[in-house]
Chains A and B, each alone.
Chain A
């Protein structure tokens, strides 16, 4: 079996969907349990104005959990994969900007931590999730196209 076949194999994509879905469900759950710490993490990036930090800290974890559940269940999988792809891209850009500005940030990716995060590790993890999401999304597009033929 070639690498391309392996990557596009139905089982591989199903496992990938379950893996990425569980990661986002876990990430969202840890943030929902301690929203103020997640708000502090968002604040440490110095990107969003303080007025909307709490709204993001309350809404984003719910969105992560919802997208994770949808990705695993298969219902609305294509838009969910696109959503996770965009979210991960935004996280990646935020981490990259923080790194470039030399900020000591607490990424808050999986709930609160009491110290600054290793941004390289967080960015590496996001790149992997991004690749996985791209793979799932393009596969879902292909499936839609095939079903229309």
Chain B
């Protein structure tokens, strides 16, 4: 194996450092020409979702939160899909929804809640009396729980979590 001399290593590290500096400046520059530039102040997912909900609450009143989240099993979900009395909402990032989703599900990603909620509000509201079921990838994913809580805050009380998510659904096919 060849080992670098101190001079070679130093020059390689210098070039890498310059490439890094250029990349970070380019990344910040690209952000400025994005359709919606990211704010440099990072906010965790829960805080961003709360901000979206607060913004939506200025347009419609808040209602009482259900005490606990209710969940739905795969068997029950399949029955409800057959009887067509459920609206499925996919809380995963849009890219995963595009790759595959439960039949008839709408995309309501946790990371783009405000836009997607406004886009799908009509469909969600037209399921009055019926049940909304939110899912994400399954396992320990939190997106569905966060979206259910956000929907509860917005006054939708018949919202269930399908904890098995996409993982369980696709395995059951």
Contacts and interface: CB of A to CB of B under 8 A. Distances in A.
Interface of A: 32-37, 39-40, 43, 50-51, 53-55, 57-63, 66-67, 70, 76, 78-80, 82-83, 86, 104, 111-116, 138-139, 141-142, 144-145
B1 A32 contact: no
Interface residue SS majority, chain B:
helix
B95 interface: yes
Which one of A43, A50, A114 has the greatest number of beta carbons of chain B within 10 Å? A114
Size category, B interface: 35 or more
Contacts of A145: 2
Contacts of A63: 19-20, 23-24, 27
Contacts of B111: 34, 36-37, 40, 112
A140 to B, nearest CB: 9
Interface string B83-117: 00000000111011000000000000001000000
Nearest to B4: A141
26 contacts: A33-B95, A36-B111, A43-B44, A50-B41, A50-B44, A51-B41, A54-B39, A55-B40, A58-B28, A58-B31, A58-B38, A59-B24, A59-B27, A63-B19, A63-B20, A63-B23, A66-B19, A66-B22, A79-B13, A104-B140, A114-B93, A114-B96, A114-B136, A115-B137, A144-B8, A145-B2
Contacts of B93: 34, 37, 112, 114
Given A59-B23, A83-B20, A145-B2, A54 B38 contact: yes
B128 to A, nearest CB: 28
